[in-house]
Amino acid sequence: MSTSGEHNLALSLAQRVIEIRTATLSDDAVRKVRQHLLDGMASAFIGCRSAVFADIAAGILPKWGGVLPRGEDSAMAWAFAINGSVSEDGSREGACHPAAVVVPVILAFGEGKSPETIDRAMVAGYDVMIRLARAGNPHFARKGFHGTAVTAPFGAAATLAQLRGYDLATTSQALCLAALGGSGLMAAFKNGSTQPLQVGWGVRNGVDAALLAEKGHGGYGNVLEEGFFPAYLEKGLHESVMAPLEKEYAIEGCYLKPYPGCRHMHASLEAFSTIVERHGVGHGEITAVRVGTYRIALETGIKNVKKRGDAYFNIPYAIAARAVLGAATYDSFDEKHFADPDIVRMTRLVTECVDPDIESRYPGQRGSRVEVELADGRTFSHSVSYPLGEPEAPLSLAVTRDKFVSCTDGYLSDGERADILRRMEGRSGEPAGPDICEVLSRRLFCNR
């Protein structure tokens, strides 16, 4: 590897961004992109309901004279809202949440851009971020780093570079500068309500990196090989960054969530739900629930549930709430349920352990095996290899549309929702403009 910076990883990633700019996206790829964009928008209107987001918005609005926030301020707040929802999409390859990084840049800088430009910006941002996160998966988490926050500056910079049409050199420099903007600590998950700040700040830093590159500034060409990877991981791991992805475009290999909560708990929750639905089991009949899953699913868990953000990362609570309430929804994780005696009882019945077979398949599969024991002595078990929403078990567009309608209820008018949904159908020739970017931002920040 040259130390002159002439042939480096940042340049290779920048070339990938430029290739995407002129690539022909299939109709299926475009539909996938639009579905993920719609899902990211929906998720933001869950995450914006937190007290932390309210204070973020209150701090930003005065800077803009009370009018619509722009630029990196807007992108940072959107990122917090989307990641704070714990309902956004994710990448199995990278163990990261690219919508929390890419969609905010689209919404902050995409006004007036064509649908085709936005499509390609989504594809480029996902591609760069997931490639870097994949090289560190599962090593990031095992060394105490959060893959989404660590790679957020790169995804944000690549998205903005594509939106604004940077040339190869400027895009490369944006990525070099982005390497200076990440942190990402797994320990932050011990307080789920503020953890998304590190993602929001990473997005802000990536945007600022791109804007500085746009003005002609740059970083060290080999900063990824000689700085980023040795610091966060080990030398040599960067060699996998440009290797082929599972799909042609990284976004095509991403999953969507049918309900909120950390993705690491979804397989367990789905396996449990299958058992109780298939066998008509009531929560009062259950005497034990045994969960076997992969190690990181347990290591990222929050054991002491005090807030909604904690419940999203607690497998026993999620299973107990599903058993008692009969569904896994946004409401299921509300703090009003924490003292429910039936949920408290059920939570204590759930035990967790690492299943060696399931652990051996991670990260290619995020599976779980759940066993439910009843008072009459019967025992039922079920395994899930690919939870609903994975490419192997895709969510229909209708499900995502329903999610968008539900999440934006009380924020958007019926007409605004209908117009946005129409634009998500893949029609070309219309600017995304105020119908998406401005209207959504106004509702998120100014009409709360």
Indicate the range of 179-188, 200-209, 346-355, 437-446 predicted with least confidence: 437-446
Cα four-point dihedral sign 332, 333, 335, 340 = positive
What is the pLDDT confidence band of residue 426, given thresholds at 50, 70 and 90?
low
Contact 102, 137 (CB under 8 A): no
And the tokens for 368? 């779980």
Contact 91, 74 (CB under 8 A): no
The residue to which tokens 């809202």 are assigned: 81
Indicate the range of 255-264, 266-275, 346-355, 433-442 predicted with least confidence: 433-442
Cis omega (within 30 of 0) on the bond before 138?
yes
What is the pLDDT confidence band of residue 101, given thresholds at 50, 70 and 90?
very high
What is the pLDDT confidence band of residue 3, given thresholds at 50, 70 and 90?
very low
What is the pLDDT confidence band of residue 435, given thresholds at 50, 70 and 90?
low
The residue to which tokens 């309210």 are assigned: 54
In angstroms, the CA 273 to CA 361 distance is: 22
The residue to which tokens 């029609």 are assigned: 427
pLDDT of 427: 54
> Is the pLDDT assigned to residue 337 strictly greater than 70?
yes
In 3D space, the residue among 106, 108, 85, 107 whose CA is nearest the CA of residue 97 turns out to be: 85
What is the pLDDT confidence band of residue 110, given thresholds at 50, 70 and 90?
very high
CB atoms within 10 A of CB 51: 9
And the tokens for 227? 């700085």
User: In this prediction, what percent of the chain has a pLDDT beyond 90?
Assistant: 77
And the tokens for 336? 């009003």
> Is the pLDDT assigned to residue 7 strictly greater than 80?
no
pLDDT digits (tens, 9 = 90+) for 36-50: 999 999 999 999 999
Q: What is the DSSP letter of 96?
A: B
CA 367 and chain centroid, separation: 19
Q: How many residues comprise the chain?
A: 448
In 3D space, the residue among 207, 184, 204, 208 whose CA is nearest the CA of residue 76 turns out to be: 204
In angstroms, the CA 126 to CA 103 distance is: 10
And the tokens for 249? 């475009």
pLDDT of 433: 47
CB atoms within 10 A of CB 22: 7
111 or 447: which carries more pLDDT confidence?
111
- Find all residues with CB under 8 Å of 39, minimum gap 6, and list them: 88, 89, 99, 256, 257, 400, 403, 404
pLDDT of 5: 44
The residue to which tokens 């990402």 are assigned: 184
pLDDT of 179: 96
Q: Please, which contacts does 58-65 make with residues 24 or more away whose CB atoms are closer than 8 Å? A: 60/445, 61/445, 61/446
Q: Where in 236-374 does DSSP place strands (E)? A: 254-255, 286-293, 350-354, 368-374
What is the pLDDT confidence band of residue 448, given thresholds at 50, 70 and 90?
low
Indicate the range of 109-118, 171-180, 332-341, 433-442 predicted with least confidence: 433-442
pLDDT digits (tens, 9 = 90+) for 188-217: 988 878 999 999 999 999 999 999 999 999
Indicate the range of 89-93, 151-155, 284-288, 304-308 predicted with least confidence: 304-308
> Is the pLDDT assigned to residue 445 strictly greater than 50?
yes
Average pLDDT over residues 341-370: 96
pLDDT of 1: 32
In angstroms, the CA 266 to CA 258 distance is: 9
Average pLDDT over residues 397-401: 94
> Is the pLDDT assigned to residue 344 strictly greater than 90?
yes
412 phi/psi in degrees, rounded to 5: -110, 150
